[in-house]
Amino acid sequence: MNNKVIQTENLTKTFGDFTAVNTISFDVYEGEIFGFLGANGAGKTTAMRMLSGLSTPSSGKASVAGFDVYRQTESIKKNIGYMSQKFSLYEDLTIRENIELFGGIYGLRGRLLQEKKMALLKNLELEDDQMKLVSSIPLGWKQKLAFSIAILHEPRVVFLDEPTGGVDPITRRKFWDLIYAAAAKGITVFVTTHYMDEAEYCNRVSIMVDGKIEALDSPDRLKITHAAGSMDEVFQQLARRAVRKAD
């Protein structure tokens, strides 16, 4: 795990006199599961938007999959996957249509797209359900489908913004099985979550407070340095220092 897939140096985003992201510097390595934690309003979403080429930084440097976040945003978009709880799939298209639509948007064509589609349906055991509307399938299926679609084009890195809200504990764990499998294939996983047990599944975790990264290490080492029994305690210690209270 020595290839850096994400590099940031003093990355900053200001809106008027408000500094949403304040000089953050970190690297994420190939095949790593990187947890990006912070309270609501800490600046996570703004940072993720810059890293996925959707928002131009105010200052600092960053590259994702080898591409510059100022000048090569289109190349970034082609080399990443993205999934969030809020936006993932088109509810009024079928499972199959969603795979074809997003696969096409990510640049897959012809036989390759067909092969990938069949492999995805087989892997999720959805062959018999492929003609179902996404609106009619359980939330847990949607999440697994959305994740599988986000990595259909085998991106270097996939961004997951609170991917697992609202499902039962077994379904949530099955989702993490997919994350582990993707990382084992070399896809870097960049994930935000409010479930602190999920923070433990990450190789390394960063915790943002008021726009700054206040801690970054493996879960085990974070617990030792903060004399805490769990990641929840570590998070509570750091996040309670927050001054700003905005979303």
Partner 1 sequence: METIIVENIYKYYPAATKKERNKALNGISFTVKNGEIFGLIGPDGAGKTSLFHILTTLLLADGGRATVDGFDVVKDYKQIRKRVGYMPGRFSLYQDLTVEENLQFFATAFETTVEKNLDLIHEIYIQLEPFKKRRAGKLSGGMKQKLALCCALIHKPSVLFLDEPTTGVDPVSRKEFWQMLKSLQLQGITTIVSTPYMDEANLCDRIGLLQNGSLLGIDTPENLTRNFGKPLFALKAEQMYPLLLHMRAYDQTATCYGFGDYHHITFIDPHIQQADIRSYLQGVGFTEPVEIRQIAPGIEDCFMDLLNH
State the residues that interact with partner 1 by CB under 8 A: 38-41, 85, 133, 136, 138-140, 162, 165-171, 173, 176, 180, 183-184, 194-197, 200-201, 219-220, 230-232, 235-236, 239-240, 242, 245-247
Using the minimum distance from each CB to partner 1, give the nearer residue, 47 or 162. 162
**Minimal distance in Å, beta carbon 194 to partner 1?**
6
Q: At what angle do helices 95-105 and 110-123 cross, to 10 degrees?
A: 130
Using the minimum distance from each CB to partner 1, give the nearer residue, 72 or 237. 237
Using the minimum distance from each CB to partner 1, give the nearer residue, 21 or 239. 239
CA angle 114, 99, 6 (to 5 degrees): 105
**Minimal distance in Å, beta carbon 34 to partner 1?**
15
Using the minimum distance from each CB to partner 1, give the nearer residue, 17 or 247. 247
Amino acid at site 62:
A
Using the minimum distance from each CB to partner 1, give the nearer residue, 71 or 241. 241
**Minimal distance in Å, beta carbon 168 to partner 1?**
4
**Minimal distance in Å, beta carbon 56 to partner 1?**
25
